[in-house]
Amino acid sequence: MSQTPQEDDSDEAGEEPWHWFTVPMSLALTEAVGFLEVRFQQASEAFPVEGEAPDLEDFVLYLPPGYLYTPRVLQRLFFCLITVSARLEPWKRKWAQGRAGEVGCACLAEELMLRAIGLEAERLLADEWELLGVSPEDAKQAKWWVFHDVAFEDADFEVLFESAGDNRTAAAKLDGLPGVTSMHFRDWFRPFSPARGVSPLCWGGSVPHASFDTDPELN
């Protein structure tokens, strides 16, 4: 029988929750945000005052290729990184208790930033475990596949990594699927729902966030 995180502390059969989320994973996720902040700063500094846009391949490893990442776009993505890292915090406590639940991203850009945090955390735990004060065995035991399965409502955004910046290709890959939001570059920061706002620095007229230090299901 496969193990999956339970919505409650135990299931109907009285089974104990699956404690897949570990302290090393939590440390890696926290450290990953700082590493990505530096990466965004470096990417922004790479732009000249005048002239052509620089090659950002070394800076935007976790973003879909083929899109025009201007300083303004990078700035808005950076704000989403900070916002989604705050959304993530209360769920780290819940996951450590064996509970299941999505982080609750408010827009496509937040999903991309959550994905980036997870991938950078996985890299840090695997390659720089000494920096985190953990052991190589902790990296081997980390179940990042569970994180990527649990933290997101769906994985529709993955088509952006296959479309090479072509909005029509991305839309075609999801054509006919119910409940799919727009994948167009201009809509990356558009809130999924008026009930949950993104940072007003990213999208005009956003509603205020729920308090991050209360029930994570409200975020």
Condensed to tens digits (0 to 9), the pLDDT of residues 116-131 reads 999 999 999 999 988 8
> What is the C-alpha radius of gyration for the chain, rounded to an integer number of angstroms?
18
Q: Which of 105, 108, 63 is nearest to 88 (CA)?
A: 105
The strand ranges marked E within the chain are: none
- Phi, psi at residue 148, to the nearest 5°? -70, -20
For residue 5, is pLDDT > 60?
no
Q: Taking the model in full, what pTM does it have?
A: 0.82
Q: What is the pLDDT of residue 169?
A: 65
CA distances to 2, 47, 99 from 217, rounded to whole Å, are 25, 39, 12
Q: What is the pLDDT of residue 1?
A: 37
Total Cβ atoms within 10 A of residue 3? 13
Q: What is the pLDDT of residue 25?
A: 93
Total residues belonging to the chain = 219
Condensed to tens digits (0 to 9), the pLDDT of residues 26-79 reads 999 999 999 999 988 888 888 876 666 666 766 677 888 888 888 899 999 999
